[in-house]
Amino acid sequence: MSGIAVMTSGGDSAGMNPGIKQFVEHSLERGLKPYLIYDGLEGMIDNRIKPASHRDVSGIIYKGGTIIRSSRSKRFFDKSFRQKAFDNLKSHGIDKLVVFGGDGSFRALDVFFNDFGVPFIGIPATIDNDIYGTDYCLGADTALNIIRQAIDDVRDTASSFKRAFVIETMGRDCGYLALVSALTSGAEICLIPELPYDLDSLGRRFKKEVQSGRTYIIAIVAEGVKFANELTEWLETEIGMESRLTTLGHIQRGGSPTVHDRLMGLEFATLAINGLLEGRSGEVVCFKASKMVYKPIAEVSSGKYQINSLHLEAGKKLAQ
């Protein structure tokens, strides 16, 4: 029986556990022997690899994060450690890999494939939703719902005390989480790396609105803008509204996966296994134009993700 292993690499995201559950169950259905690699690339090097059964994945579908844990590995850049990882896989009879992660994880596995010829397929999993070639990454919907709940809760206090609240989201160089959250929660300001902002224009607008009766402001800022503290101070000094900053941080990564992320985890895992059995390797299962497709890792790694142009256009009025 051919061995196939799954690992999660880089940042965790809700939807990984439903994907792992489907990986084990679908592997068994297709006559494969599934293995779980614990602790990502580090676990592959240290042989933290165990055979999996239905019992290992029973009851995990509602859990956030990843039951097989994750890591980032500097050692994997050293070929001697990659050799060790390969020897570990070979000792278990594993000749196929599925990896949940981002483009950095995919590039690492691509090097591994070039070294030892172990076929792999990647599944895009990051709340930032910033992987080129796919419109959706596993975990983004759950993160958006966590942010939405936080904004709704903060709005209650903002309106009660006539305050401005700045909410900083994750996203590094990508403003997807901040922009989609702002558009779907009725925020008054949204600052993201992809759009220029004009404080003078915003200031003129909000001073007029405050004079006309506006009593609170909700502002969403992507962490990549690095302006959350400054915007909080600006709202207080320039607009004259008592202001508070809320940094959501890592709560955006956790939480029980939404129905959408559970379903996407199932679809991604199924297509990854089917693709490997069809002889594919070095590809990523992508969700593009409302359907699942396979794209070469070189294509996914070479491009830069761009937010939907319609959403960007709608976001301009929140930054100027």
In the sheet that holds 3-8, the strands lie side by side as: 49-51, 33-37, 3-8, 94-101, 120-124, 283-288, 291-296
In three-state secondary structure terms, 50 is strand
Identify the CA nearest to 82 among candidates 56, 136, 128, 46: 46
Amino acid identity at 231: L
Listing DSSP states for 192-255 in one string gives: -TTS---HHHHHHHHHHHHHTT---EEEEEEGGG--HHHHHHHHHHTS---EEEEE-GGGGT-S
What are the C-alpha distances in Å from 250 to residues 146, 233, 253, 255?
11, 24, 5, 10
In three-state secondary structure terms, 130 is coil
Out of 128, 130, 141, 261, the active site residue is 128
In the residue annotation, 128 being an active-site residue is answered as yes
In which region does residue 199 sit, left (phi positive, over 0), alpha (psi from -120 to 50) or beta (all else)?
alpha
Q: Distance between CA 103 and CA 132 in Å, rounded?
A: 9
DSSP at 78: S
The residues carrying an active-site annotation are 128
